[in-house]
Amino acid sequence: MSKHDIDVVTIGRASVDLYGQQIGGRLEDMASFSKAVGGCPANIAIGTARLGLRSALITRVGDEAFGRFIREQMAREGVVTDGIHTDPARLTALAILGVRDADTFPLIFYRSDCADAALDESDIDAGLLARTRSVLVTGTHFSKPASAAAQLAAMRLVRGQGGRVILDIDYRPNLWGLAGHDAGEQRFIASDFVTRELSPVLGSCDLIVGTEEEIHIAGGSSDTLAALRSIRLRAPGATIVCKRGALGCVVYEGAIPDRIEDGAQGRGFPIEVYNTLGAGDAFLSGFLRGWLRDEPLTQACARANACGAIAVSRLLCSPEIPSEVELDHFLVHGSKLRALRHDAALNHLHWVTTRPAAPERIIALACDHRIQLEAIADEVGADRRRIAAFKVLAVRAARLVAEAHGGAAEGGFGMFLDGRY
């Protein structure tokens, strides 16, 4: 194992997202939901893994089905799961989401004393962080003293070994206690308290990423340029990325210019917006794919914009982040459709490059040959009902053979049977 075999460790929220499937309806009207891993750091861990980086996640999950689902899904995505801790006293976080129209995305967070919110310094594994080239912390986990201390400890460890620190401002007012449970969708409420909590963190960051509203809260001003200059004062050496939705992004290194547009930019991708939730996590996954490999900023921006465009055109969060093959195809060929979810070629690439890998071997015995077994029974004058007993013996024998060769223990053991006998 090389000293730095992990590209990025993300820290913070890991939840189960339940997306309402009745598009255009209120959450009150939802009759069915799709389940997926959610939470900004978890989404980015998945996104960067899909794009060819080696990622890991530090978080807590509950000792229940949803906690196991997050851990298992992370493993399926190729994310290092050593930092996912099970909290027996708390439940896994939950988010209920929907798509009402192009501008309305109802969202309820179930995070009261949830597992990931209880993250503390004891969860920070120095051995895991010694393996990474960078760590990504999130604004939400600076809202509580214990989780803030955990992130600060991780930042110190990674900076101490010459690694990079990334801050996703990830501002959710109601997760800071500034809005009610019914205001999960709200993205900005001015708060001197939040600005004061984030301000000391900025100087320890190599990359700071946020929407214009998040730049406002971190910089303490509703004027974007003034907020950018305030951040620059506290983080003179950081790369600052300002996400601007349909306008793409602008990246600043050095002094903040007189116009927002005068930073580095990458090409944009005009598409039909279907759901903005989770698009920022796809965006940052794409940007990190370029930035952590020291690509030109314009190229990293193009990757980020493309990932955001693909994700915003689909329903879910982490499941919709593109793979590296899918992203490269889109960067070269684009799409003739503004509604990317209807692009058959892109959807096919997504499906074949994000489904779980096939097992290395399959040990299977076919015992479902009904016509042939009936013919054998008839030929020897046996009662056809004895076919069922024969199948039971066959299953037992196959299992014994598989276990003797490690098959059942390693997975891949199976039988082909029918229900007739």
> pLDDT digit string (tens) for 359-410?
667 777 888 888 898 999 999 999 998 998 998 898 888 888 877 776 544 5
Give the pLDDT of residue 366.
84
Q: How deeply is 193 buried, as exposed, middle or buried, from its count of CB atoms within 10 A (0-12, 13-18, 19+)?
A: exposed
- Read off the pLDDT of each residue in 262-285 and give the average, rounded to a whole number: 90
Closest CA to 252 of 280, 219, 225, 214: 225
- The answer to whether 24 and 50 have CB atoms below 8 angstroms apart is no
In whole angstroms, give the CA distance from residue 86 to residue 54: 22
Contact indicator for 169, 214 with CB cutoff of 8 Å? yes
Chain-centre distance for alpha carbon 229: 31
Asked whether the predicted pLDDT for residue 278 surpasses 90, the reply is no
> For the chain, what percent of residues have pLDDT higher than 70?
96
CA 303 to chain centre: 17
As a whole number, the mean pLDDT across the chain is 92
Share above pLDDT 90 across residues of the chain, in percent, rounded to a whole number: 76
Residues 199 and 331: their CA atoms lie apart, in Å, by: 36
The residue-averaged pLDDT of 333-340 equals: 93
Instruction: Report the range out of 224-228, 274-278, 383-387 with the highest average pLDDT.
Output: 224-228
**324 neighbors 50 (Cβ within 8 angstroms):** yes
Residues 6+ apart with CB under 8 A from 177: 143
Q: Is 279 exposed, middle or buried (0-12, 13-18, 19+ CB in 10 A)?
A: buried
Mean pLDDT of 340-355: 92
Query: pLDDT (tens digit, 9 = 90+) per residue, 39-79?
Result: 999 999 999 999 999 999 999 999 999 999 999 999 999 99
Lowest mean pLDDT among 8-12, 102-106, 268-272, 310-314: 102-106
Q: Which residue has the higher pLDDT, 195 or 411?
A: 195
The yes-or-no verdict on residue 411 having pLDDT over 60 is no
Strand order in the sheet with 107-110: 33-38, 15-20, 93-97, 107-110
Q: What is the mean pLDDT of residues 325-348?
A: 94
Mean pLDDT throughout 311-334?
92
Instruction: Give the tens place of pLDDT for each residue, 102-138.
Output: 788 899 999 999 999 999 999 999 999 999 999 999 9
Residue 191's Cβ-count burial label (10 Å; 0-12, 13-18, 19+) is middle
CA angle 191/192/194 to nearest 5° reads 70
How high is the pLDDT of residue 409? Answer: 46
pLDDT in tens, 227-266: 999 999 999 999 999 999 889 999 999 999 999 999 999 9
Q: Where are the beta strands (DSSP E) in 353-412?
A: 363-366
Tens of pLDDT, residues 289-299: 999 999 999 99
Domains parsed from the chain with CATH numbers: 8-354 (3.40.1190.20), 363-416 (no CATH)
pTM equals 0.86
Q: Give me the count of residues in the chain.
A: 421
Quote the CA–CA distance of 135 and 205 in Å, as a whole number. Answer: 10
